[in-house]
Amino acid sequence: MKKLLIAFVLLVGINAGSFAQSRLGLFIGGGVTWYYGDMNDRLLTHPKLFDSYFNGGLLYRLSPHFDIVANYINGEIVGADSLAIQEFNIKRDLHFQSKIWEVSLRADYKPFIRQTGKKIRLFTPYVFAGIGYFHHNPQAVKNGQLIDLQPLGTEGQYIDGGNYPKPYKLYQLSVPLGIGIETKLSRAFSIRFEISNHFTFTDYLDDVSGDYADSAKLSMTPNGALAVDMASNLNRNYPDEGFGRGNPKNNDTYMTVGFSILYTPVYEGKGGGGSGSNRNAHGGKGKKKKKKSNCPAFD
């Protein structure tokens, strides 16, 4: 991911002399998050499972139809069985919260762009896809304190021997896919509204995936007593080993919906516009056409 970001910065730097004022933009924004996983069994999420995020980054106008976006997101996701629909999940009675940040590099595609000269196009829809790198850390509350769940190995990750899962990683890859619409406020400022689903390669955003571990073996791990306590809140004896705790068939995902303000500086000096006018005064039709195809798409 670092190599991709470095390549993006170098691309911008190479083109800065001629295009930074018209192609490079800065944005900042925020919105709401929610997640889909074992602690959210609703098709449409419960309002109490909404949380917030903020984001910011760089946008580079690669062509009239394509933008390259480097985006940083910082927010939080939450889940709770007390808000579930299915009876099993309600009885399980677990909960979690996790601060999450992600850096991503993506491509935005605008299928309906047209050459419009200096006329402001009010609405521009787009779709996007990319690759991200994110950090999460599921926690739960016990006696008023937040407990990190991954070091506990609540599903037997730290039990020696047996067919138990390995400890899951807190740093993972993601694939953000989404749609958006950009609205021009002026030549320099735009508002962007986006809906994005961040697909992950882990089922442990909420620390729940597979089966319950053997309680006796779990109690012998480095954080055994706390691991047993945080693994189950069922109102009966601790479940037998192999009893289902979650659904390992589907990885967890998280959603972001929000607005951002995009600022793209407008160059009014002797650069592309001035030199283009000078070429048109002395040159032929070919150079005039080059100016038309190069600038208006980014106005």
- pLDDT mean values, one per 10 residues, the chain (299 residues): 51 44 87 96 91 97 94 97 92 95 97 63 90 98 94 95 92 98 92 98 97 94 93 80 91 97 78 42 46 41
Ordered DSSP codes for 185-232: SSSSEEEEEEEEEEEES-S-TTS--SBPPPHHHHHTSTTHHHHHHHH-
- Domain spans, the chain: 2-267
In angstroms, what CA-CA distances link 151 with 148, 156, 235? Answer: 7, 11, 25
Cβ-Cβ contacts under 8 Å for 216 (sequence gap 6 or more):
none
Q: What pTM value is reported for the model?
A: 0.80
Report pLDDT for 20: 41
Token look-up 């190599």 returns 3
Question: Hey, what amino acid is at 192?
Answer: R
The secondary structure of residue 47, as a DSSP letter, is G
Report pLDDT for 257: 98
Report pLDDT for 155: 96
Report pLDDT for 118: 53
Closest CA to 168 of 193, 136, 198, 195: 136
Question: What is the largest distance, in Å, between two alpha-carbon atoms of the chain?
Answer: 89
Report pLDDT for 222: 93
Report pLDDT for 234: 74
Q: Sign of dihedral through CA atoms 109, 114, 118, 124?
A: negative
Domain 2-267 adopts which CATH fold? Porin (2.40.160)
Burial tier of 160 (Cβ tally within 10 Å: 0-12, 13-18, 19+): exposed
Residue 203 · residue 209 · CB < 8 Å:
yes
Q: Sign of dihedral through CA atoms 188, 191, 197, 198?
A: positive
Residue 176 · residue 128 · CB < 8 Å:
yes
